[in-house]
Amino acid sequence: MKQETKPRYQEAMPQIDAEEFRKVVMSRRSVRRFDDTPLPDAVLDDCLDMALLAPNSSNLQPWEFHVVRTPELKRKLAAACLNQNAAKTAQALVVMVARTDTWPAHCELMLENWPDADIPPIVRNYYSRVARLHYRQGPLNLLGWTKRAIAAVAGLRRPVPRGPFSHADMKVWAAKTVALAAENFMLALRAHGFDSCPMEGFDETRVRRLLKLPSDGFVVMVVGCGKRARDGVYHARIRFARDRFVKEH
């Protein structure tokens, strides 16, 4: 007798208007000056919720979003962002922080929050064993170096994962995820009729001190948020030739 298998999970696919999405993407600009239009809490919260839906490795979500709206802290944070107009005039500043040490707790949360009562063995094994070996680097990176050597030998005969093998690799891993979330956040702001400016120009030591960030947390970018001023975009968009970047194989 053939054993019945559980149907795979499926979601309904909504109809999407590609042209409306194109308008969101095309009209997103790095706005350098914002006007005094208030940014509603509901809009900001919705955009943060959209950021939290960004894809991320193993669903371990190594991000934190620090929302700064109080005037005094915002003024200090703007100074730490080198007093850029995009920071000084923003209605809110959102500091996109990557975490490299939250993944063990998030492995536990994945098992605790699995939507079915019966967790598939492959899932339980991954979060209880595989991920814990894959992302752990060990004291003085000794485990990472060991994994690197094993991968180098095993990779001679078959494809194998090539990292992360160091604490520096873990920072890259976390930063990639946070960048994906930041883009979700900025496009969501544009869809609501507001704008953003992602800033890499800041004094990270001062930002860390202001926000009391944990030792494993590092700032990927600071995003200024608000309604663009009439002179908020400084020049027309410049993009180089498409064939410089798009390679067909």
Q: How far is CA 164 from CA 68, 106, 131, 177, in A?
A: 32, 17, 11, 14
Q: Is the pLDDT of residue 4 over 70?
A: no
Q: What is the DSSP letter of 101?
A: S
Alpha-carbon gap, residue 172 to 161, rounded angstroms: 15
What token pair was written down for 197?
A: 């400016």
Nearest alpha-carbon partner for 65 in 151, 178, 226, 171? 178
Superfamily of domain 29-234: NADH Oxidase (3.40.109.10)
- More reliable by pLDDT, 22 or 161: 22
Alpha-carbon gap, residue 67 to 211, rounded angstroms: 10
Which residue type is seen at 42? A
Cβ atoms of residues 85 and 32 within 8 Å: yes
Give the tens place of pLDDT for each residue, 233-249.
999 999 999 999 999 99
What token pair was written down for 243?
A: 């064939």
Domain edges within the chain: 29-234
Quickly state the pLDDT bin for 1 (edges 50, 70, 90): low
In this prediction, residue 7 carries a pLDDT of 78
- 25-36 average pLDDT score: 98
Strand-pairing partners, residue 225, are: 92, 196
Nearest alpha-carbon partner for 161 in 140, 182, 147? 147
In this prediction, residue 91 carries a pLDDT of 98
What pTM does this model have? Answer: 0.94
Alpha-carbon gap, residue 245 to 19, rounded angstroms: 24
Alpha-carbon gap, residue 243 to 144, rounded angstroms: 38
Q: How far is CA 197 from CA 88, 93, 153, 181, in A?
A: 12, 10, 45, 14
